[in-house]
Structure 1
Amino acid sequence: MRKKPKLVVNHLSYCYKRANKQPLQVIDNISLKIFNNEVVSLIGPSGCGKSTIFNIVSGILNEDKGKIEINGLKEKSRRGKCGYMFQEPLLFRWRSVLENVMLGYEIKEMLKQQAKNKALNLLKEFGLFEYANLYSNTLSGGMKQKVALLRTIAFNSSLLLLDEPFGPLDAITRSELHLYLLAIWKKLKLTIILTTHDIREAIFLSDRVYVLSKKPARIIDCLKITLPRPRKLEDLTSEKFVSLEKRLMSLLKQSHNKKDISH
């Protein structure tokens, strides 16, 4: 029996309303499914609507058309049902690393001492305990992203939306963060959706990659990533990885001529 999906998006469409202008269609009839403990990437041209999809799934925006189900339930009010991490870490400067992670629990109205204990355990489990009392202005870019990731998990570890989380980082730090994310994913059995412009990042992290067209975004294909897990940095130079990279590049180049498909 096929497992039930964690997230179902059916025939999603959305237009931005503009004063004294025709509405701008950003998303056109998108359907996708994400299953428990999957890592799935959305990749497409800059400005095609990837972040808008996340804003709708997370409840920041309301869809014009379509249906969204989380854990088999049709969800109209979705705020708080997903952990949402943005490209910028958005850490509070006046809070320590510990206090920033605690915020994920405090938003859920957890008692302060309980939030502190859970945040400390999370920092210990994933290698940041020694930084607990530091402030964000003393942290490197990669360290800030690690703290932001743990804060997102503290808020909601059921379904994570990661919006280009490693975009501003250098190549070596990105590779370190990729392995860090995959270690957390494996340990906590997370379900993750991320947006990216980086073909190699999408392949290395994901079980599947949805390829989006230019605006208005349509799904033009879904590429299954057949690399074995756990992933290793050596995979980046393997024959299979290079073949997947060529296939994904070809799909992106041809995207404007492709018709959308459903999965």
Structure 2
Amino acid sequence: MSYITATTLEDALTALAAGPASVIAGGTDWFPAQGDRHFDGTLVDISRLADLRGVTKTDRGWRIGAATTWTDIINADLPPAFDGLKLAAREVGSTQIQNTGTIAGNLCNASPAADGVPPLLTLDASVQLTSGQGTREIALCDFLQGVRKTDRAADEILTAIHIPDLPDGSKGCFVKLGARKYLVISICMVAVVVRVNDGAVADIRVAIGAASPVAQRLTTLETALRGLPAKGLTHAITDDLVHGLTPISDVRATADYRQAAATQVIRRAITLALEGDP
């Protein structure tokens, strides 16, 4: 194995195109995933590329650089719609992991239990992929294609996440259900973005992770809740509106438990998101 610390994006793309190669920034997902396997290729470290780090306001919304750490996101000055993403950032491993692990690594790892995915889905995030041939942008929901599967080509680097502006008054929340409070892979997790106008739900977005091969928006539930009074909204959330999930049984929980817990976690996340609204 050879190791390259890229000093420019062009250097990183050149090394990647020469292949076989893997990209890391923090490496907090890549190294554990290797286990005892031998990697006979080039490891391209992009953590020192300043252009790939940080959260900035743009004329279209917000840009999060691929090498932005979870601690960077926690400390960023962001509107309340991003509160779910900030809460998810605090759930990613330990403080040391949050200081090192990056948002792009979390997405490219494509775990069904990736903490960053549900809140980014509620923010209508898209990802920017760059290769020597140019740049393309794809919705996050299309980028994630299955367990450990993405639409990233072998010669591409995920360079940024783009999030469009949300209307004023949008508020986010994230709730993670696990066997303990910290340092846990979730049983299921829910992100919500909600906006209330004149006491009614003007818009709501709900995404759930660790309950199917890919985290997903619950569009049927969203449609059913829009326009309803915010007060007592959780009473309208019934099990029949939480469908399309395909949870698995593993050491953390059975599939039946995950399915039953999903409705309760959704109710909790929406309640917390609505706190403070009349």
TM beyond 0.5:
no
Larger strand proportion of the pair: 2
Q: TM-score, normalised by structure 1?
A: 0.26
Structure with bigger RCO (C-alpha 8 Å, 6+ apart): 1
Q: TM-score, normalised by structure 2?
A: 0.25
Larger helix proportion of the pair: 1
